[in-house]
Amino acid sequence: MPRVCKCPQPQPVEQLQNFRLLLCVDIRQRLFYPVAMFNLDEELKALKKARLHRRLPSVEARTGTHIRIKGRDLLLMASNDYLGLSQHPHLISRAAQAAAQWGAGSAAARLISGSCTLFDELEKRLAHFKQTQAALLFSTGYMANLGLLSALAGPDDIIFSDELNHASIIDGCRLSRAKVSVYSHVNMAALAARLRRAGRFRRRIIVTDALFSMDGDIAPLPRLLELARSHDAVLIVDDAHGTGVLGPQGRGTIAHFGLEDPDRLIIMGTLGKALGCFGAFVAGSRVLIDYLVNRARTFIFTTAMPPSNAAAALAAVDIVEQDAGLRERLQENTAFLHRELRSLGFDLGSSRTQIIPIMAGEARKALAMADHLMEQGIFLLAIRPPTVPANAARLRLTVTALHTRQELERVVAALKKTGRKHGLI
C-alpha cells in the first residue's frame, strides 16, 4: 500500500506567493545577467581579436581646432564642424538667450505640448534656405531618415539605395518593410536597369547620400533626378555633409547642381555638421511635411529638441547665407590638402571635398597609423568595418574653415612620416 505524505499542503495564498517569488527570480536573472545569456563577452573578444573593438576617447576640452585628451593638446582633424560654427559667439549667445527664455528642454513632443515658435520660425527659414515649400525638424539625422523612409514606403513599394549610403538610410529601408534594391556605388547604368524592372511596385523611391560621409565624393544628382523622372520615382537626397558647404550661399548639393523638382525631390539635412548645432530636418512639399507630421513615428513619438538649439540654428543659417568667407576658407584648405597629399602618393579615393579618406586597407594598419599620428599630436582616428567595407579601412581626415595653413602643413608633414613608416607612400 503506497505511503501517503502527511506533510501540510501549501494553501492557495502560499502557492501564489511561491509563484510570485519564482517569477521575480526569473525576471531578475533576465535583467541582471544578459552577458551570460547572450555571450556578449565572446562577441567582444572576437571584435578585439579582429581589431574592430571601439572605445570612447574622453575629451576634456575643445578650443578652436584643438582638443585635450589626458592632459595632451591635440590638433583635431576629425570634426564635422566644417565652418567652425559650433563655437561661434553669435550662436552661443542666441542659444543662451533662448535657454533663459524657454528653459533647458522642450518637455514633450510637439504634438503633445505644442510647438515652440522658434521651431516654426526655423522650419520656415530652412524651407527658404533649401528652396522648398516646407520643412520639418527631427531630433537627429538618423531619426529623420528612419522616420522619412518608414513613413513613405511599405511592403508594396521598392527603395533603390546606393551601396555606400549612411547606416541611417540602411536602417530606414529595413524599417519600412519595402523591397530594397542596393545598386553598386554611383553606378547609374545598374540603377537604370533595376528601375526598368520595377514597374509593378506602388512607389519607387531612390535614396542617396549627396556627399558620401566616408568617401568624400558627390552623388551624380542630375542623372539620378533624370532617372527618377523617367521611371516615375521619387528621389530622396541625404544632404547632411553638403548643407552649409556646397552650392550658392551654402544651400547644399542640390543647389550646387542647380536642380529643381518639388514633386520628385525630398531633402534631408542636418544642423549638427556645417551648421554647428544639433538635429536635422526634412524639406519638401507642404503635402509631404503635413504627411510626415501625421505618419513619421520618429517625429511623433519623441521629445522635441531644446528651443535653445533652434535659436542657435537660426543664427547659423544667418551666418551661412551672409558670410561667404567661411566657405571660401574651407575650399582653400580643402584644395591645399588634396594637392599636398596626392603629390605625396596617398590614395584619397574619389574625394574632391572636405572629407578626405586616406586609404589604408587593413584595419590593423589604419589603427597603427592613427596611433603614430597621435604620438605626433594629431587626432585622426581609424575608420574600420562595419562603418566601411572589409579591407577598406582608412583615416577619415576632415578639414575645416578654422584650420590655419601652419596647422595643415603640420598635418601634411606628420602624414608623410606616418605614410612612409607604414608603407603607404
Question: Active-site positions?
Answer: 213, 241, 273
Task: Find out whether 69 and 370 touch, Cβ atoms under 8 Å.
Answer: no
Task: Find out whether 333 and 408 touch, Cβ atoms under 8 Å.
Answer: yes
Cβ neighbors of 178 (< 8 A, separation 6 or more) are 153, 154, 155, 156, 157, 158, 159, 203, 205
Facing residues of 69 across strands?
72
Reduce the DSSP state of residue 305 to 3 states and report it: coil
335-342: which pairs have CB atoms within 8 A and are 24 or more residues apart? Answer: 336/405, 336/408, 337/397, 337/399, 337/408, 337/411, 337/412, 340/408, 340/412, 341/412, 341/415
Report how far residue 313's alpha carbon sits from residue 122's, in angstroms, rounded to the nearest whole number. Answer: 7
Report how far residue 211's alpha carbon sits from residue 274's, in angstroms, rounded to the nearest whole number. Answer: 13
CA 284 vs CA 60, 129, 290: distances in Å: 40, 12, 10
DSSP string, 358-425: EEEESHHHHHHHHHHHHHTTEE--EE-TTSS-TT-EEEEEE--TT--HHHHHHHHHHHHHHHHHTT--
Pairing relation of β-strands 265-270 and 234-238? parallel
Q: Could you tell me the three cell numbers for 233?
A: 520615382
Determine the length of the chain. 425
